[in-house]
Amino acid sequence: MKYYKIEDLEIIDAGGEGKAVGKKDGLTVFVPFAVPGDVVDVEVYKKKKGYAEARILNIKKKSPYRVEPKCEHFGLCGGCKWQIMDYETQLKFKQKQVEDCFKHLGKFTFPSVLPIVPSKNKYEYRNKLEFAFSHLRWLDDDDMRLRDSGKILETRGLGFHIPGKFDKVLDVKRCLLQAEPSNEIRNSVKQFAIENNIAFYNIRNHEGVLRNLIIRNNTKNEWMVIVSFTEMNVKTEKLLKFLKDSFPQIISLFYVINTKLNDSILDLEPVLYAGDPHISETMEGLSFKIGPLSFFQTNSLQALELYKVARNVAQISSKDIVYDLYTGTGTIAQFVAKQAQKVVGIEYVEAAIEDAKYNAQQNGIPNIIFFSGDMKDVLNANCTKRNGKPDVVITDPPRAGMHPNVVARLLEMETPRIVYISCNPATQARDITVLAKKYSVAKVQPVDMFPHTHHVENVVELVMAE
């Protein structure tokens, strides 16, 4: 299509994927990097029936909710797209997102959505970041001007993939999502690799040695680093030794050899180079092991608030049998175990269940039993026959929501109370629509886990309809 301009477009909403929304002559226009209240001129570059996508050409009037982004990489990096919106307004639109999904996608009645629980930390809240090495980093406009003027640029980079460009990596100088020494570790690794001429990965040709750098930490300022190589040699050994000697905060240092076409290491075996095989996080006196492949909520402090909300909504008594579906490493299961007679945790990933069993044993919790396997296969009549019919079900599925067979099984089980935790209100609304055959929505409580993004967690209490 031919690009065209829309002038004086008023931004009226904050939509999905972090894009703002304007309307012009019946056309819905999605605009990244705009804020509700802005009046902008935009260029439409994609148009479909009923909607268009556009980029800002000029801001005619700034929204009162617009603020200056703190991150120097804002606009190029794919994360933190709502940094230009003040935090209270972010919370307002996250809550509205839940309400809109339930109103427009769900077919059930629900009470007023409770005020969203804000995040205590607005920056440096993540406990895990993954960076990619690239032999040819993304060159921004300033880089191009310098290159055109004859300046020789360092083209190797270590950072985040540019959105929509699998082979382009933005070299990150300072990320505000994780506390220090995260930036110092990443920048030191990059500089050491350049000085020692260790080949950065070429994702198109699948050549090079350095692939990925994963940095994890806990609230005790203990750090885990995993470096992904395509091979182990004298230079990579030297890099690992440099990390070990330079950063005493790194108490767990791993490497992994990845010769596959994709960056995932979940199916690979990390090798412990130095230190402990895991770090741990403590919440309410409970300790949780975090290994190189472990899943753990990436905002530790806010995860505690989310779990408290879920536990309060569950209203568990000492006689109750609780099923925790998609239990992961058993964090929620262990949070509610003290109140329950028995907790049954089910999770697809076997390694996560091994961590869950270890954590429960270390925490001295005897009334939990864990099972691994596909939820739709494990949660069957034999499961409830062996372990008892649940009085409360807590379910925290991935973004895709629950498998239809799992939803059907919940309807068969007729558990008095279901606590549904979701990071995707759209699929949550879809599942609740089916469950509404036998359940009514008693409570809706959003929780902000990821400031400066459009993502929102939502906790819903479902009770058997009378």
Residue 80 annotated among the catalytic residues of the structure: no
What is the Cα–Cα distance from 3 to 44, expressed in whole angstroms? 6
Q: How many CA atoms lie within 13 A of 12 on its CB side?
A: 9
Residue count of the chain: 466
What is the Cα–Cα distance from 46 to 447, expressed in whole angstroms? 34
Tokens 């556009």 found at: 54
What is the Cα–Cα distance from 21 to 319, expressed in whole angstroms? 49
Q: How many CA atoms lie within 13 A of 197 on its CB side?
A: 0
Contact (Cβ atoms closer than 8 angstroms) between residue 134 and residue 157: yes
User: Looking at 77, 175, 383, 423, which residue is catalytic?
Assistant: 423
| Structure token pair of residue 59 | 């801001």
Residue 256 has φ and ψ, to the nearest 5°, of -140, 140
Contact (Cβ atoms closer than 8 angstroms) between residue 307 and residue 331: yes
Q: Is it true that the peptide bond before 181 is cis, omega within 30 degrees of 0?
A: yes
Contact (Cβ atoms closer than 8 angstroms) between residue 156 and residue 135: yes
Residue 176 has φ and ψ, to the nearest 5°, of -95, 5
Q: In the 8-state DSSP scheme, what is residue 180? A: T
Q: CA torsion 49→50→54→58, rounded to 10°?
A: 140
What is the Cα–Cα distance from 14 to 30, expressed in whole angstroms? 9
| Structure token pair of residue 61 | 């009037």
The candidate with the shortest Cα–Cα distance to 395, out of 445, 455, 461, is 461
Give the three-state DSSP class for 148. Answer: helix
**Helix, strand, coil % (nearest 5) of the chain?**
30, 30, 40
The residues assigned a catalytic role are: 423
